[in-house]
Amino acid sequence: ELRKVPGIGMAKASQLIAVFELTRRAQKPDNPSIQDAADVFTYCKPIIGHLRQEHLLALFLDVRNKVLGHEMIAKGTLDSCLAHPREIFRPAIQKSAKSVIIAHNHPSGDPTPSEEDQQLTRAIAKAGELIGIPLLDHIIIGETWERA
């Protein structure tokens, strides 16, 4: 749409889009608080929602559910992404996280959890119980979101 404006070519339109994106990112709070699955979706969608392969993202939370940081844990294929619990909990321990939330994208746009998604959720939840860092949620990002 920007190119419809007289004097705006492809290069200038790209620059303006970059400025808009940087402004949007700068306005995000540094440590947002996660209260529900909708907050997870809002946080994660810009990071992994547009990717063409499945990616697993972990959010590390403090005692007030504020985000201490996030890390891309795994990159998969068009329809699968494998991760081991240790890959999630190593950075959680390093960041002194009280809890963890994981999210991954479905490039198809359909957030319906697969059996593999549900197995991953159970494995990570079990590992979290053992080490004292609970998995609060596993959200699948598509056009909308679903819990795994």
Ordered by start, the domain boundaries in the chain are 1-30, 31-147
In the chain, DSSP assigns E strands to: 55-61, 67-75, 99-105, 135-141, 145-147
Per the confidence metrics, is the pTM higher than 0.75? yes
Mean pLDDT across the stretch 50-67? 96
Could you say which of 3.40.50.620, 3.40.50.720, 3.40.140.10, 3.40.50.1980 is the CATH number of the domain covering 31-147? 3.40.140.10
> Residue 10: its pLDDT value, please?
83
> Residue 76: its pLDDT value, please?
86
How far apart, in Å, are the Cα atoms of 99 and each of 1, 70, 71, 124, 134?
Answer: 42, 12, 14, 12, 5
> Residue 4: its pLDDT value, please?
78
